[in-house]
Amino acid sequence: MGAARVSGPSTRTFKLTLAYDGAAYVGWQRQQNGPSVQATIESALEPLAGGMPVTLVGAGRTDAGVHALGQVASVKMLTSINADALARALNATLPLDVRVLALSEVPDAFHARFDATAKRYRYRLLHGQTVSPFERRYAWFIPAQFDDARLEAMAQPLIGTHDFAAFQAVGSDVQTTVRELRAITVGRGAPGALASHPSAEVTTIDLHGSGFLRHMVRIIIGTLVDIGTGRLSPDAIPRALERREREAAGRTAPAHGLFLVRVEYGSGP
């Protein structure tokens, strides 16, 4: 049975909510050096657009190895297929490490990136005697334990609107490094049945902000880990904010522990 169709083909705009395992991809953005999430979805969309090229716009350009629980993308395409059938057709074609969670038709003016008002990220740290073979692609293994409540307290100077120049990748080209971080919380829990040792635990660090610089989340995480393990002093974060130089902050956490959880639009999620 073919995909359900509306009365006739027309150029329409769709909003897609996506989940993906970023381990096999060079990142969201289309690149020449390997498969990207963007190009993978575009290749699945083009036959549904009569073979015409399509351009998918993502709300966040996740790096190689970064995962998504709720990435949002928009696409304009000439098609007569309705939204529900389009979602089913995509999931039937896409590799299993990329899934369409929701798909809806939206006004033509909608833009997944420029209309986003906030994003939520989560970073996972795995603690224990040894790294789990099942968690190795989804958490940064840090054998040392540290005080999560203290770590959250150390992160509080980041809350608010600041110049985050010390927390961006070297060589980034942006008009301003001022961003608003609305919340950062640290929690602890068991990793689940796939842990390689019964004493294993996971620290989750959740960040909510209006926008993020390149590698900003990962540098914040690396700085917090460096504080928690004693590599940096407890006042490292306010000092880095004041100096506005990359070397003032901590290391860049590995990509594989990071998840784009949700993209928000308008006044709500």
Residue partners of 36: CB distance under 8 A and separation at least 6: 25, 26, 27, 28, 29, 30
Catalytic residues: 63
Contacts of 268 (CB under 8 A, 6+ apart): none
For 159-191, b where at least 16 C-beta lie within 10 A, e where not — what string?
eeebebbbbbeeeeeeeebebebeebebeeeeb
**Cα separations in angstroms, 7 against 47, 48, 79, 120, 237:** 19, 15, 10, 38, 58
Element (H, E) at 264: strand 258-265
Report the 10 Å Cβ neighbour count for 58: 25
